[in-house]
Amino acid sequence: MHPNPIEKVPSFSDLSLDEQLLSAVKKLGFELPTPVQSQSIPFALEHKDLLVSAETGSGKTGAFLLPTLHNLLAIPSRKAGVRALILAPTRELAQQIFKQCQQLAESTGLRTGLITGGDDFRLQQNMLRNNTEIVIATPGRVLELMDQEIPNFTNLEVLILDEADRMLDMGFSEDVLTIANSCNEQRQTLLFSATLTHFGVIKMADKLLKNHEVIALNTLHDGHRNIEQQIVLADDNDHKQKLLAWLLQNETYDKALVFTNSRIQADALRGPLRGQKLRVGVLHGEMDQKDRNRMMQLFREGAINIMIATDLAARGLDIKGINLVINFDVPRNGINYIHRIGRTGRVDELGLAIALVKHTEWNLMSGIERFLKQKFKHRNIKKLEGKYKGPKKLKASGKSTGGKKKTEPKKATVEKVKIRHRDKKNIGKRRVPTVKPNIEISQA
């Protein structure tokens, strides 16, 4: 399938790529860069680390190969060892990348090699000893070669992880980290994944990327099918505090993560929640490492089952069984939102993410919905119904989600909630029940 480049994208020559690469692109019949190419290439050419959501068929291979080849050509190296390593989950994908790499590098003189299981080990050993510059590989065989101390990644300039989500789902997480740890620390790292909300991908990005740019294409909304996302409107922080306590007392969950935008807010919530006999811990960047470790330990072991955290502290948080995320404060941008909700709804589990939104946060929340190309369900908690019903325009258009005039839930909508396709798909899997009588209307 050939992707449809969007209008007004720059041409390949606008991207200032090497002439040899421009000829190769022309020979392949690529007229214009695809969106993932036009957005990724400029950053990658500047040696930036990247986290990119892009699917097969989007032109992602060109998005990482073209800038990598350009940079290798721009600054020739006399150092020994592999200069660019591309890891892919399957042999077939590795072969596909290899083929495209050979086509693009045809006239450049750069040497490209393929290392996958099932092929001749000796030939691969020799190829690596002959200083092949670009290696495309599956992780398993690279590790086998590493056991023989053959590949030299100490001068590696670029590490690329393609289809990282799939690679992690296939159980390659440790292998990828072992390989990455054997690579030159100063390298550039490009991480491509179909989704950015995959827990393993977030974790891997936390570990491997430095000051990275995030390029989120239109695949974002596909990424969290297993996370139910809701909005609960609130009048102010006091009201939010009541809603939070109610949710933590009435939802069903193993572990819950509550996000605030500030350390002060995180600390302020602890006392009142503990007063409600909830087992709460706090994690923020200004706590010393010992206290943070202790909190994490308590949370991991289940001695506390609710953690209030700031974004910084939650980076790299690797805890199983988090199936409820509550945004006490709306995060400052879409990427932070993705990071937060990605802590729940892991591969085969369902998660629930609830954002408490007051009037000053409405626009921010709408921006996040637009960014994700999603509309979240609005939920009304009857016992704690507040005055704020969303902006006036929305109310006038009848889209208000909890207005007093709108007393009866729409029957059809409630039924829709009950027979969600996703529920059918997940029959037999663990489910996080929501408190349905309080859901008045679904905007999803």
Summarize as ranges the residues that interact with ligand AMP (CB under 6 A): 2-3, 30, 33-34, 37, 56-62
CA 29, chain centre distance (Å): 32
Taking the complex as a whole, how short is the minimal distance between the CB of residue 82 and ligand AMP, in angstroms?
22
Taking the complex as a whole, how short is the minimal distance between the CB of residue 202 and ligand AMP, in angstroms?
22
Taking the complex as a whole, how short is the minimal distance between the CB of residue 96 and ligand AMP, in angstroms?
7
Residue number, 34 or 226, with CB nearest to ligand AMP = 34
Residue number, 56 or 366, with CB nearest to ligand AMP = 56
Taking the complex as a whole, how short is the minimal distance between the CB of residue 2 and ligand AMP, in angstroms?
4
Taking the complex as a whole, how short is the minimal distance between the CB of residue 356 and ligand AMP, in angstroms?
39
Residue number, 64 or 199, with CB nearest to ligand AMP = 64
- The residues facing 67 across adjacent strands are none
Residue number, 223 or 351, with CB nearest to ligand AMP = 223
Residue number, 100 or 426, with CB nearest to ligand AMP = 100
Residue number, 89 or 151, with CB nearest to ligand AMP = 89
Residue number, 40 or 305, with CB nearest to ligand AMP = 40
**CA 64 – CA 20 distance, rounded (Å):** 16
Structure tokens that stand for 406 in this block: 């709108």
Taking the complex as a whole, how short is the minimal distance between the CB of residue 374 and ligand AMP, in angstroms?
24
Secondary structure, 3-state, the chain: CCCCCCCCCCCCHHHCCCHHHHHHHHHCCCCCCCHHHHHHHHHHHCCCCEEEECCCCCCHHHHHHHHHHHHHHHCCCCCCCCCEEEECCCHHHHHHHHHHHHHHHCCCCCCEEEECCCCCHHHHHHHHHCCCCEEEECHHHHHHHHHCCCCCCCCCCEEEECCHHHHHHCCCHHHHHHHHHCCCCCCEEEEEECCCCCHHHHHHHHHHCCCCEEEECCCHHHCCCCEEEEEEECCCHHHHHHHHHHHHHHCCCCEEEEECCCHHHHHHHHHHHHHCCCCEEEECCCCCHHHHHHHHHHHHHCCCCEEEECHHHHCCCCCCCEEEEEECCCCCCHHHHHHHHCCCCCCCCCEEEEEEECHHHHHHHHHHHHHHCCCCEECCCHHHCCCCCCCHHHHHCCCCCCCCCCCCCCHHHHHHHHCCHHHHHCCCCCCCCCCHHHCCECCC
Residue number, 37 or 229, with CB nearest to ligand AMP = 37
Taking the complex as a whole, how short is the minimal distance between the CB of residue 97 and ligand AMP, in angstroms?
8
Residue number, 17 or 156, with CB nearest to ligand AMP = 17
Taking the complex as a whole, how short is the minimal distance between the CB of residue 98 and ligand AMP, in angstroms?
13
Taking the complex as a whole, how short is the minimal distance between the CB of residue 103 and ligand AMP, in angstroms?
9
Quickly count: other Cβ atoms within 10 Å of residue 313's Cβ. 22
